Amino acid sequence: MYKYFKSSKRKYSQDCVVRSIMVATGWDWEQVFNAIVPICLKLKDVPNSDVVYKKFFSDMKWEACKVEKEEDLSGTRSLPTVEEFARDHKKGTYILTVSGHMVCVKEGDWYDTWDCRYYKVRKYWIVNKDVDWSIYDGLFNKTKKKS
């Protein structure tokens, strides 16, 4: 089920990567941004760049998974939608990429500023909750949260 989630007080934002990581980790916007910026600087790219978020996910030991096409009632095989993926993944936390966007699915719900239920899932990562958080020591002003 779709759950509205806004990552900041800004009226308009293009921070779907930061927003998805926030939902997955329980960190606030600044914590996520502070964790991802060193990768941006090293790779000379922005947080929404696939090379940046893939490096972050790899550092976090989140498992990248290919999406299998599913057969619909007419026998046509196609990629699952966000809604179908969420329905089939009631346990755990996942970050999904869809066309030009990223969204987090947690315990069967997807969190975003808009309802992307009909978008086709291109790739997903299984969020590993057993992360060595020490790699981010010193980046946070607040206590790290685990969800």
- Indicate whether 7 pLDDT > 50: yes
8-43: b or e for each residue (b if 16 or more CB lie within 10 Å)? eeeeeeebbbbbbbbbbbebbbebbbbbbeebbeee
pLDDT at 14: 79
Largest CA distance in the chain: 54
For the chain, give the mean pLDDT. Answer: 87
**Binning pLDDT at 50, 70 and 90, where does residue 142 land?**
very low
- Indicate whether 32 pLDDT > 70: yes
**Binning pLDDT at 50, 70 and 90, where does residue 39 land?**
very high
How many other C-beta atoms can be found within 10 angstroms of the C-beta atom of residue 133?
12
- pLDDT tens for residues 40-55? 999 999 999 999 999 9
Rg value, the chain, Cα: 15
Q: Are 96 and 85 in contact (CB under 8 A)?
A: yes
- Indicate whether 93 pLDDT > 70: yes
**Binning pLDDT at 50, 70 and 90, where does residue 106 land?**
very high
